[in-house]
Amino acid sequence: MLLSHLLHLQGIDSVVLELRSREDVETTVRAGVLEDGTATLLKETGVGERMEKEGAVHHGIELRFGGGGRRIDMTGLTGGRTITVYGQHEVVKDLYRTRLEAGGQIIFEAAAVSLHNLDISKPKIRFRRGAELDLDARAVRFQGGTEEEEITCDFVAGCDGFFGVSRLSIPEDIRREYTRTYPFGWFGILVEGPPSSEELIYALHERGFSLVSTRSPEIQRLYFQCDPNDKTENWPDDRIWEELRTRLATRDGWTLQEGNIFQKDIVGMRSFVTEPMQHGRLFLAGDAAHIVPPTGAKGMNLAVADVRVLSRALTEFYSTGQTILLDAYSETCLRRVWNAQRFSWWMTSMLHRFHDGDDYQYRLQKAELDYVTSSRAAATSLAENYVGLPLHETTGATSAG
């Protein structure tokens, strides 16, 4: 949706195939920590007005361990940069409205089933309506008939996630994939109630990781590390609150604000990268090309960075006929992707108990947290990565800066 919006601003037409219904997307509460550059891009391109009114600007985060919390002053350490907490589903609402008001073409509940002619100037997308994602089967399912429709276009942007057809349309002898699966998951809850903290809290406890986040002044999001094969029905509300209170307890008597839990889920943790991110006239973006554990809050922001690079490259092509930026797309994006993979892996490793970890490793983790929160250099490194590295710092000499 963001790519379609950016191209529209340059007078370039596009068609979006949206797997789910508009109502489904807009009512599914999703995470939303926006890097400084992401929030700036939304404002500069005319879709950030509601975000500025309703989003919460955060200037720091708290790292909690050993019964106490220490604040990372992101704004002070990065020359004034911030993060904005504003749900991904809210961003998409704003993009839907903007694109539809501008006459944009969005086909809801539709998914590509195959891509063709990617090596020539007019590739084709064959798609079907009545699509839905079956997470249990890890596949796209279709309701109704089997009729396929076709779109002929100049370029294909594969923004269809890990289970879409785009990534697999890059030949196996060209495509390389890198995966790491973590031995834990996140048990997440949505809560009706006031926030427990003005800023996010990342906590390490001998029982595992926990996170205090927020979605709005009335809705809070909390997580704790769990067995990825656990079941939500094993966790009644009282047990959840007891676990969170234990992991988040401090010596100064900090109080966790409790409320009505209206959603529970378990999220697996993995890292994934595919290379290259382009083949012929196909360009992968977002989860189709890379996945990170949520500890570093990079997933949506990496997708935004991808389409920002791609929109500039397509704009150059349509305005000058040159393909310099298009040819460099994969190299440009992957440098940032691997930086985000490194940061997300580091945050995850520092804050989670591993199944084969012992007391020695736990003491090392606490020592790492002590160093990060007491060294200005280490804290600055965390802050710079968390608010988001500027685009020009992760692009090559031939790329858009």
Catalytically active residues, by annotation: 58, 202, 294, 298, 386
Tell me which amino acid residue 36 is. D
DSSP line for 115-183: EE-TTSSS-EEEEEESEEEETTTTEEEE-S----EEEE-S-EEE-S-TTSSTGGGS-TTT-EEEEEEEE
- As a whole number of angstroms, the distance between CA 390 and CA 398 comes to 16
Tell me which amino acid residue 276 is. P
What does the CA dihedral 108, 113, 118, 120 come to, rounded to 10 degrees? -80
Instruction: Specify the 3-state DSSP secondary structure of 89.
Output: helix
- As a whole number of angstroms, the distance between CA 225 and CA 44 comes to 37
What does the CA dihedral 35, 38, 40, 41 come to, rounded to 10 degrees? 170
> Which of these, 202, 118, 149, 173, lies nearest to 15 by C-alpha position?
149
Provide CB contacts within 8 A for 355, sequence distance 6+: 183, 184
